Amino acid sequence: MAVEAKDPYSRGHSERVGRYAEKIAQRLNLPEEAREILRDAARLHDIGKIGIEDKILKKEGKLSLEEKEVIRKHPIIGENILRPLKSFSRLLEPIRHHHEFLDGSGYPDGLKEGQIPLITRILTVADIFDALTTERPYRKALSYQEAKKELKILADEGKIDRKVVEALFEIIDRGEL
């Protein structure tokens, strides 16, 4: 709620990401413990945005390279906020790495393939899908079909997990969102 209070464009984002991630995890038959971690991580994945200046977070239009670098720090800020709280320790990995890509082009650590756990891969796809389908200061929301095309491109480029994307597509096609 603190992130949403700071950034009106993120209103409902974490809850939607959690809902999408939960449905993907169910489709992929993840055990309940993994789904619980995923739900909690989804709710808190952007908590680090609390540490980002409003002038950057709420900027309309394109961000400069310097501003992008500041935004890219939010996963580390989030991890640092939660690290002292022992009960959140199992959420630290997905929160820190929800912007990593399988080809190593993500951030903050440039992880690749097997270095990124399935829970984090699911969170990444759910986060991207919600970002694509909601209005942002810099662009209009895409339709589900347009978002599916964008996710397919990312999967074809080897950036996101094809199996996770296909599970999301099944959910969309069945009208379960």
d(CA 145, CA 128): 14
What token pair was written down for 128?
């991207």
Whether residue 6 lies in the annotated active site: no
Of 6, 23, 49, 86, which is the active-site residue? 49
- What value, to the nearest 5°, has the Cα angle with vertex 116 and ends 112 and 117? 155
d(CA 53, CA 55): 6
What token pair was written down for 34?
């993994």
What token pair was written down for 49?
């945005």
Q: Which residues pair with 139 in a beta bridge?
A: 136
Active site residues: 49
